[in-house]
Structure 1
């Protein structure tokens, strides 16, 4: 039976690739996409999700907009990485179908409450929607089948030397989420930087036809030049979080205690990871089966590409 997946995201180059994986894997049932301000503003990430929904062909899946701002801080985006429109150079046809009525927080709570023990919740943006949801309904943490994020790290940052962007963008929300009554699978930078779309991967993607030309390759190479010999490729961070739900066998993980720094002068947004905890609150993937990962991702993308060409 397919695993039901609810994706909270901020598309975003790699969020778009993660949506493609969630839609295309027949062993996943994408039951909803919720959006949060992050990589770019909320209106733009929601527009991107709506356009991806129609372009990829899953119009019955609700897209629901959520929080535009962090809980207590001014919004900070990553448009310098993802482009002003969030999807780099990709321009999709305008969506004709609207977003679902209501707020993402209500949608998350209602969807999980209606199907306790069956929804795999995945967050690939700032954790604002998830924090608001678990504060409003603490039982959410017990109702989900699993909860996986792309965010954090145990050795480095990318928004700052100490902090990964999704956590740094709303550290107060991240602290609420990690303090809730669930085990958070933290797919962080140490893992996702093993998933580089290098020249060989891009060459295999190129063989997939129109979908690759219009979407996959531009998203995967927006800030990566495959002709530079010493560059390992552009990491597909958010794809790893969806892949973890579908194919946990591709990952080696360790239990950990993760706490969020919210007040450090130089370390705000840091995920402080203890791999020898008395009371773990997280599972942290540390090693990726890289050939297996790309074989899986390419097989799913090829499946969607074949359907897209008909």
Structure 2
């Protein structure tokens, strides 16, 4: 089996936790690192949460690095109302046995990608893109060395979840998102148009709960928390599970439909900060260097989560 070398950049986060359980259980990946960024909660908590999840999954072989604690030029903004004050819903926080690996996440990204053959290292980015933007500033050649960069972020036809037109990960650091999209990286964006199709129904959660493994129990717990919070705040019975989508695509590309496009991010207007302008018309876009997920096979995504968490 050819294994995909992968760096996961994340801000756990309940749906990040589900994505990590999926990735930790997938033998198809050679997990080079998990890099944490401030986002849903501050980086001190996201780095701890990543280590907690690593320990629960029994993947002490995967190094965790702490990264950027704030956006490129904005004040940090959290989403604790959707993830809980500690970031992992109802999971009681604990100090993991193993610390973060020494060094900064930005250096870890640069060193691991530049040491491997061109195109061989993919990234799954499930939080603000600050770490990757800083890595590209440090080593511009990174853009040509990276394999696909699968990002959970953005919104088009669905509208936003933090403002009328912006999704949280892009809104939290729009400048970083704009730099990554302009860098020449092979970016595939999984925005709300696709992730809102991937919903944790009662039956899908119950399937995970019936598996009886630590990974499955953790993923199901995150979905139960989201189910309760989404009912209270939004009125939805089946919450969307965003962050597993880029990981699922790297494992099973056929679960998603993608369209070539050009994506630009609004950085200067507070009204539309973080808006993703997705242009599918080549004559208007001046080339179509990016890909946008337009639809998802939700049953397939949840079957994959169950398979890898079993």
Q: Which TM-score band applies after superposition, normalised by the shorter structure?
A: over 0.9
Instruction: For 2:62 and 2:270, locate their aligned partners in 1 and report how far apart those are by CA, in whole Å.
Output: 42
The verdict on how the C-alpha distance between 1:253 and 1:140 changes in structure 2, with shifts beyond 3 A counting, is same
The verdict on how the C-alpha distance between 1:109 and 1:197 changes in structure 2, with shifts beyond 3 A counting, is same
Q: Which residue of 2 aligns with 1:24?
A: 25
Instruction: For 2:295 and 2:52, locate their aligned partners in 1 and report how far apart those are by CA, in whole Å.
Output: 34
- Partner of residue 172 from structure 2, selected from 165, 169, 182: 169
Q: Which residue of 1 aligns with 2:74?
A: 73
RMSD of equivalent CA atoms: 1.6
How far is the alpha carbon of 1:223 from its aligned partner?
3.0
- Partner of residue 189 from structure 2, selected from 174, 178, 186: 186
Q: Which residue of 2 aligns with 1:238?
A: 243
Of residues 81-90 and 210-219 in structure 1, the stretch that sits farther from structure 2 once superposed is 210-219
Contact 2:56-2:215 within 8 A present in 1 as well: no
Q: Report the count of equivalent residues.
A: 300
Instruction: For 2:196 and 2:98, locate their aligned partners in 1 and report how far apart those are by CA, in whole Å.
Output: 35
Paired residue secondary structure (1:167): helix
Instruction: For 1:207 and 1:231, locate their aligned partners in 2 and report how far apart those are by CA, in whole Å.
Output: 23
Q: Which residue of 2 aligns with 1:284?
A: 292
How far is the alpha carbon of 1:210 from its aligned partner?
4.8
Instruction: For 2:33 and 2:110, locate their aligned partners in 1 and report how far apart those are by CA, in whole Å.
Output: 12
Contact 2:56-2:214 within 8 A present in 1 as well: no
Instruction: For 1:22 and 1:214, locate their aligned partners in 2 and report how far apart those are by CA, in whole Å.
Output: 15
How far is the alpha carbon of 1:234 from its aligned partner?
1.6
Does structure 1 residue 272 correspond to structure 2 residue 277?
yes
Paired residue secondary structure (1:283): strand
User: Unpaired runs of 5+ in structure 2?
Assistant: none
Does structure 1 residue 299 correspond to structure 2 residue 302?
no
The verdict on how the C-alpha distance between 1:142 and 1:212 changes in structure 2, with shifts beyond 3 A counting, is closer
How far is the alpha carbon of 1:92 from its aligned partner?
5.1
User: Unpaired runs of 5+ in structure 1?
Assistant: 303-310
- Map residues 91-240 of structure 1 onto 2, 5 A cutoff: 91=92, 93-116=94-117, 117-155=119-157, 156-211=159-214, 214-225=217-228, 231-240=236-245
TM-score normalized with structure 2 length: 0.93
Q: Deviations over 1:88-134 (max 9, x none)?
A: 10125431111011110000000000113211111100000010111
TM-score normalized with structure 1 length: 0.93
How far is the alpha carbon of 1:24 from its aligned partner?
0.4
Q: Which residue of 2 aligns with 1:85?
A: 86
Of residues 64-73 and 83-92 in structure 1, the stretch that sits farther from structure 2 once superposed is 83-92
